[in-house]
Amino acid sequence: MKPFWWAMEGVIHAIRTERNMRVHVIAACLVTVFAFWLETSTMENLILFGWVVAVFTLELVNTAIERTVDLVTTEIKPLAKRAKDVAAGAVLVASIGAAVTASVIFVPHLIAVWNML
């Protein structure tokens, strides 16, 4: 049971210390609100949930890589910068994929709501 709580401490630490993680949490809350409001299907909700999990996971890995690089060196080194940039790039790619997917799912529902007004 202790490993679960240690892992939760890691998630909570990332939310408290990483601005981008907080942005992702807010985005996930907005996605949840839109999914309920627009009454998206179970399959659409699973797809959205998958993207939220992917983005959160990559942001946590990115944070771990940044902390590890900072632990190993305090000097500015090209390889250290590259490691951090590539990890951040993985989060960016997933975030763009999540945003495009959310748009593809939500826009038709929003158009339907608009047409009912």
Instruction: Report the number of distinct structural domains present in the chain.
Output: 1
- Which residue in 9, 18, 44, 59 is the catalytic one? 59
Nearest Cα neighbor of 87 from 53, 64, 107, 110 is: 64
Tell me the C-alpha distance between 100 and 114, whole Å.
Answer: 20
State pLDDT tens for residues 16-38: 999 999 999 999 999 999 999 99
For 58-98, write each residue's pLDDT tens digit. 999 999 999 999 999 888 899 999 999 999 999 999 999 99
3-class DSSP state for residue 33?
A: helix
Is residue 44 pLDDT above 90, yes or no?
yes
- DSSP state, 74? S
31, 52 Cβ separation under 8 angstroms = yes
Average pLDDT over residues 4-24: 96
18 is catalytic: no
Task: Report the CATH number that the domain containing residue 72 is assigned in CATH.
Answer: 1.10.287.3610
The residue type found at 52 is: V
pLDDT band at 117; cut points 50, 70, 90: confident
pTM exceeds 0.85 for this model:
yes
Residue 99 is part of which domain span?
Answer: 2-116
First to last CA, the chain: 51
CA distance 44 to 106: 9
**Mean of the pLDDT values across residues 33-46?**
97
Q: What is the pLDDT of residue 37?
A: 96
Distance, in Å, from the CA atom of 110 to the CA atom of 103, rounded to the nearest integer, reads 10
Q: Given this model, what pLDDT does residue 74 score?
A: 86
Average pLDDT on 40-60 reads 98
